[in-house]
Amino acid sequence: MAPQTRLLSLGLISCALASVLPPFGSSHPAPTSGQHGVVFMEQFIHPQVKFNWRNITCPVCKAVFAILDVALLSDANEERVAHAVGEACIRLHLAEEQVCREITELFRSDFIRVLQESLLWPSEACGLLVGPSCGKFDIYAPWNITLPKVPKPPVIPPSPPTPSSPKSRVLFLTDIHWDQEYEPGSAVDCKEPLCCRNSSGSPSWKKRKAGYWGTYGKCDLPLRTVENVLENVARFGPWDWVYWTGDIPAHNVWSQTRKQQLSELSVVSRLIHKYLGPNVTVYPAIGNHESTPVNSFPPPFIRGNRSSAWLYDKMADEWAVWLPEQALKTLRYGGFYTVEVQPGLRVVSLNMNFCAKENFWLMVNSTDPANQLQWLVHILQASEDKGEKVHIIGHIPPGLCLGSWSWNYYHIVNRYESTIAGQFFGHTHLDEFQMFFDEETMTRPVGVAFIAPSITTYVDLNPGYRVYSVDGNYKGSSRLVLDHETYILNLTEANSSPAPNPKWSLLYRATEAYGLSSMFPSNCNGLIRTLINDDRVFQKFWYFRFKGHVSEPCRETCKTTILCFLRSGRYDELEQCDLLNGFGGNLARAARKTLC
């Protein structure tokens, strides 16, 4: 390792343990209106799982990293450093001993390789872990993609289709999180980041027991529930096509193996094909949990065993039943692809792990990893030239991405607003959306990223899925989202007397629930104004956001955080909304800790 190389060794535990924290906006009840905003934001960032680098003082942090920096100049010291990091995790009570040891072992090889190639000083490391008062963490330098010199076409506001116009019915699945070790009757409340497992132990007489179909708590789903979802959607068809945006494995990220990840990828991919049938095409996107270590997605210039070839190649094999060879080629290269869905409509599936701060490989180089955004511009320009509309799918919403990536993506959406007809994401496990506005005034809505709720229950949720009604296949179609529906399995009812076929029910239809004519960007922006002015409608949105399982209303500080999120399709807009409302950066930091 070169002498100038700087280390973030304890960040090994930081990044790894952050991956097992509950998701952004998890469904723990909001504080009452009398509680202080800072308290709310701390709960917003770290619900349930206790993990706080503020236990370490700034001088101690810098001293530790300086020592470790020198230690790793010799490869022979890697074993000692990894052991020391594991011990630090245990002694600082960052997690249970087993989790500390296993996650250190899992992450250490790849993470140390990244640190040896990165340029981090101890002050930068401590700025990340302890806070800005201890140093500045700014390794993700600004960068710009290049747009063609072709002028942007005049924007023609979309008109609602006639009632008799064809409509496309699109199934959307995301965040399955199947737990092979889910055990009915096991403890719901355990010390590990994931419960309801055969290793969680038996609950005492005062404690809750894991249910047959799933459980409210830090729990993922048994395979029977995954299959039941697919049985239900198969009966509810036919579907014109399906979008599926990843996250197959459970949240036991400290103990996963490549073999296990690949097996679960195969099982779930084949189940989807089995239940939906050979005549329904599924367009998948890759989630952050598909890899192990979690969030670890090296750019394509990383070769050999540390590359993501082991994962991308298996995806290409399993998804060849749905995707043509050209799409499989870019999938194998970088986990993204494009396909023509119908004449006049194209889908682009992005690998959003190349925009995620938690992907520690981006510490080496975060400038448009895999040239994915430049490739997206090329696809969009070709579609504009041909008069095609484009749907973009991905796992992590762009408003939660690294600043430069998010800014560039927002710029692309602005330039191609007449071509991009829909954006569809998951990851937060919640039912929400994020708006995009024209960059000149930041007032005219140009797009909306729909964020669909998860199939998993993690954390404290009902299982759910989404159905989109899209302007259909006819000449001049806008291909915009006209409406959407959310379906849930009420676990309280399903587990009360388990039956072979529990009832899935419609939670709500968006246009009906909110009194909208469609889900065009202008309508979604109007909905935000209604949420601001009408608390009754906002509380309805809050209830739907958690798939019908929330115990308290959302008031004042809580409400402001949600409205900031909905308006912020670009990360710096989230920061600005955050600062304007006096959260001092806590909201933006909370958003970046979304690690479902």
Longest distance between any two alpha carbons in the chain, whole Å: 72
For 172, phi then psi, to 5°, come to -125, 120
What secondary structure letter does DSSP report for 549?
-
427 is in an annotated binding site: yes
DSSP 92-105: TTSS-HHHHHHHHH
Which of 234, 215, 213 shows the shortest CA–CA distance to 224? 213
CA distance to 394, 421, 424, per residue, from 390 (Å): 13, 6, 11
C-alpha to C-alpha distance for 53 and 42, rounded to whole angstroms = 13
* Helix, strand, coil percent values for the chain (each to nearest 5): 40, 15, 45
Q: Is-contact 25 428, C-beta < 8 A?
A: yes
C-alpha to C-alpha distance for 102 and 293, rounded to whole angstroms = 11
525 is in an annotated binding site: no
C-alpha to C-alpha distance for 532 and 537, rounded to whole angstroms = 9
What are the residues whose beta carbons fall under 8 Å from the beta carbon of 36, sequence distance 6 or more? none
288 is in an annotated binding site: yes
C-alpha to C-alpha distance for 217 and 26, rounded to whole angstroms = 10
Which residue type is seen at 576? Answer: Q
C-alpha to C-alpha distance for 30 and 43, rounded to whole angstroms = 9
Q: Other CB atoms closer than 10 Å to residue 436's CB: what's the count?
A: 28
Which of 501, 509, 502, 428 shows the shortest CA–CA distance to 467? 509
Residue 75 CB-density burial (10 A; 0-12 exposed, 13-18 middle, 19+ buried) = exposed
Beta strands in 174-300 (DSSP E): 241-244, 282-284
Q: Is-contact 195 219, C-beta < 8 A?
A: yes
395 is in an annotated binding site: yes
What secondary structure letter does DSSP report for 32?
P
How many residues in total does the chain contain? 596
Q: Is 460 helix (H, G, I), strand (E, B) or coil?
A: coil
247 is in an annotated binding site: yes
Which of 431, 401, 407 shows the shortest CA–CA distance to 174? 431
Residue 425 pairs in a beta bridge with: 451
Token pair for residue 216?
């409210």
177 is in an annotated binding site: yes
Residue ranges for the binding site for Zn(2+)?
175, 177, 247, 288, 395, 427, 429
Binding residues: 175, 177, 247, 288, 395, 427, 429
